[in-house]
Amino acid sequence: MRTQNTSSQSNGNLFAALRAAFPQDLDAVAVETDSGLFYSWRDLERATAMMANLLDSLDLPAGSRIAVQVEKSVEAMVLYLATLRAGLVFLPLNTAYQSAEIEYFIGNAEPAVVVCTARNFGWVSKIAFKAGTQCVFTLNDDRTGSLLERAAHCSDQHVVALRQADDLAAILYTSGTTGRSKGAMLTHGNMLSNALVLKDYWGWQADDVLIHALPIFHVHGLFVAIHGALLNGSKMIWLSKFDPKLVIQKMPEATVFMGVPTLYVRLLAEPGLTREAARHMRLFIAGSAPLLIETFNEWQSRTGHTILERYGMSETVMLTSNPYDQSQGERRGGTVGFPLPGVSLRVQDEDGRPVPVGEIGGIQVKGPNVFKGYWRMPEKTAEEFTPDGYFKTGDVGKIDELGYVTIVGRSKDLIISGGYNVYPAEIEACINELPGVAESAVVGIPHADFGEVGVAVVTPKPGATIDPGKIIASLKSQLANFKVPKQCFVVAALPRNTMGKVQKNILRAQYGAG
Ligand code: MCA
Ligand code: AMP
């Protein structure tokens, strides 16, 4: 066994801390996949070393971005870990993103390296080379691709790059209510501090096994789940895609599950979800979108487990959580629990004054988990922070007398659909470009499976006729599929208030009721 010559104490690199938590027995199974593959801790150690050596061999300037749009696989996780290990900056991209979206992210982030699937190499490499990217590698979900071929020739010995807590580890693009997507810059310290707090707060135990069923392009699956398991030296049961039957089948071998509310709704639709099936499980965690109280209650009665709901953001990783330890309080449905240790959370009114207990206002946060700012957008970053350093989340909520935080809405115009964020402004801008369209409004309406979905309400230009089906088809060719409104309605005019602002609440009530 090889020992690291940089200890986690002296090295602020998140990977050093994750590596230090690998169990003594490096031959134990670290990851078991749904295709029957087993990866030991030694495999992870060697594979990350080889890939980090490949990245080192490219001689990239400090802070170079590695942009990755690949299907979920253990090798994709290894690439993330290797990027940390090499001290470079990881930029994950949802596989649903289409060429215009990718062109923006790559143009904005100017990554030195882009990794994509072989299937997409043609168009992705064209975009990347145009943006000045040095190397484009391929990585497929069947352990093939030029990245692995090149890494196979590299040494499996690698010294973890020295990084400070304040150095960048990842950039996550998050859309905005106005303008284009912004890259949230997260540091090694942001993520490590949060992971350490969660390890303790959620009572990770020596024999925990995590069912990993989420995508690995966003905070939930990439950071909360992976860091949680690795920092505890826990095995992961790795599902390439969420499959409710398989999750239930794996529960007797596992202890922890993390999911967005849609996953819980879909699990509840399975007759196989019983107390017996969930008997071996220790903890079910939900987040990324509001968990309906009906889902929370039904889960309790069907499985005997109380879901632990927590709240986070791309800019902050995790912010609040219901308690794991019942002595700290009950897990209260409909709330997102207490601010995590180290997180200061306050609720303010529009004039920047704290609201009384139980009253509603804007949620603001501060702590070691809060990001460094938006990539190359200092003005936008400054706008989102208060003069005393609190980040304005854009979520609206309240804190009760016991300290439980409840999110009641959002001041940002955002739809959260199946755990993915959809910004109406982006969709409306696309619709407004289509022939015959005068204007449009996209609103979120309740949906049994995805929690919320977008619908588009469109007005035609004088004399024009609009085919709603064509609008949807056109959006499908331009946008990630989860962003495409599920329905499109053509109306003569949009409802407006006296200031001329579109009254989205009226549209939500009108189309949500149907
Ligand atoms: C798929 N579809 C969707 C969504 N997903 N529509 C709306 N919202 C969605 N989320 C549509 C597709 O457009 C497609 O429609 C059809 O469903 C089938 O697509 P498919 O990919 O096969 O769907 P699926 O496999 O059933 O996926 C549903 C899913 C997935 C498993 C719920 O959306 C998912 O994994 N969501 C989790 C997202 C997540 O990890 N979020 C965490 C963000 P068509 O055929 O018409 O095109 S991190 C975060 O928020 C923070 C910080 C936090 O607090 O955690
Ligand atoms: P993202 O931009 O993907 O990081 O999404 C962050 C947003 O997801 C937050 O600002 C919240 O609006 C929402 N969110 C995350 N967790 C929860 C939760 N448990 N309940 C309600 N909303 C949530």
Q: Which ligand has the nearest atom to the CA of 224?
A: 1
pLDDT tens for each residue of 43-78: 999 999 999 999 999 999 999 999 999 999 999 999
**340 Cα: distance to centroid of ligand 2 (angstroms):** 15
Task: Report the b/e string of 279-300 with b at 16+ CB within 10 A.
Answer: eebbbbbbbbbbbbeebbeebe
CA of 421 to the centre of ligand 2 (A): 8
Does the beta carbon of 259 sit less than 6 angstroms from any atom of ligand 2? no
For a mutational test of ligand 2's pocket, the pick from 407, 411, 417, 420, i.e. the residue with the most ligand atoms closer than 8 A to its C-beta, is 407
- Beta-carbon contacts of 252 under 8 Å, excluding residues fewer than 6 positions away, are 277, 279, 280
CATH 2.30.38.10 range(s) for the chain read 334-411
DSSP for residue 327: G
Residues of the chain with CATH 3.30.300.30: 415-512
The whole-angstrom distance between residue 403's C-alpha and the CA centroid of its chain comes to 26
Residues forming a β-bridge with 491: none
Q: Do the Cβ atoms of 187 and 165 come closer than 8 Å?
A: yes
Q: What is the pLDDT of residue 9?
A: 53
Residue whose CA lies nearest to ligand 1 atom number 50:
288
Which phi and psi (to 5°) does residue 171 adopt?
Answer: -125, 125
Going along 297-427, which residue ranges are E strands?
Answer: 308-313, 317-321, 338-339, 344-348, 361-366, 373-374, 391-399, 405-410, 415-417, 420-422
Q: Where are the alpha helices (DSSP H) in 183-292?
A: 188-201, 226-231, 244-250, 261-268
Angle at the Cα of 423 from the Cα atoms of 420 and 427, rounded to 5 degrees: 115
**H or E segment and range at residue 441:** strand 437-447
Query: For residue 469, which amino acid is it?
Result: G
Verify whether ligand 1 is closer than 6 Å to residue 214 (CB atom). yes
**Coil/strand/helix, residue 257:** strand
pLDDT value of position 513: 83
In degrees, to the nearest 5, what angle opens at C-alpha 247 toward C-alphas 274 and 148? 170
Q: Report CA 6 to chain centroid distance, whole Å.
A: 30
- φ, ψ at 374 (rounded to 5°): -90, 135
C-alpha 420 – ligand 1 centre gap (Å): 6
* Domain limits, CATH 3.40.50.12780, in the chain: 7-186
Residue 484 CA, ligand 1 centroid: distance in Å: 12
CA–CA separation, 328 and 445 (whole Å): 36
If you measure from the C-alpha of residue 177 to the centroid of ligand 2, how many angstroms do you get, rounded to a whole number?
A: 15
Round to whole Å and give the CA distance between 111 and 84: 15
The atom number, within ligand 2, closest to the CA of 421 reads 3
- How does DSSP classify residue 271? T
Among 89, 116, 93, 99, smallest CA distance to 170 is for 89
- Pocket test of ligand 1: the residue of 482, 487, 488 to mutate, having most ligand atoms within 8 Å of its CB, is 482
DSSP for residue 66: E
Fold of 7-186: Rossmann fold (3.40.50)
pLDDT number for residue 180: 79
Token pair of 313 as six digits: 């953001």
Which is the closest atom of ligand 1 to the Cα of 476?
47
Residue 198 CA: which ligand is closest?
1
Cα 30 from Cα 36, distance rounded (Å): 13
Can you say how many angstroms the Cα of residue 382 is from the centroid of all Cα atoms in its chain?
A: 23
Residue whose structure tokens are 């980040």: 391
> Which of ligand 2's atoms lies nearest the C-alpha of 336?
19
Instruction: Name the residue type at position 322.
Output: N
Residue in the block written with tokens 């495409």: 484
pTM of the prediction? 0.96
Distance (Å, rounded) from C-alpha 202 to C-alpha 325?
Answer: 8
Angle at 93 between CA 87 and CA 96, to 5 degrees: 165
Ligand number with the minimum distance to the CA of 363: 2
Architecture, CATH, for domain 334-411: Roll (2.30)
Nearest atom, ligand 2, residue 175 CA:
2
In the chain, which residues have pLDDT < 70?
A: 1-9, 176-179, 514
Residue to mutate, 284, 309, 311, 374, ligand 2, most ligand atoms under 8 Å from C-beta: 311
- Gap between the Cα atoms of 320 and 331, Å rounded: 12
Q: At what angle do helices 293-303 and 261-268 cross, to 10 degrees?
A: 50
CATH class of 415-512: alpha beta
Of all atoms in ligand 2, which is nearest to the CA of residue 313? 4
Q: What is the number of the ligand 1 atom nearest to the C-alpha of 312?
A: 54
Give 323 Cα–ligand 2 centroid separation in angstroms: 18
Residue 265 near ligand 1, beta carbon < 6 Å: no
CA 453 – CA 437 distance, rounded (Å): 22
Distance CA 16, CA 28 (A): 20
How distant, in Å, are the alpha carbons of 28, 190, 223 from that of 25? Answer: 6, 29, 24
Nearest alpha carbon, ligand 1 atom 37: 419
Q: Is the CB of 314 under 6 A from ligand 2?
A: yes
415-417/420-422 β-pairing? antiparallel
Q: Is 301 left (phi over 0), alpha (psi -120 to 50) or beta?
A: alpha
Distance 460 CA to ligand 2 centre (A): 34
Ligand 2 pocket, 309 CB below 6 A? yes
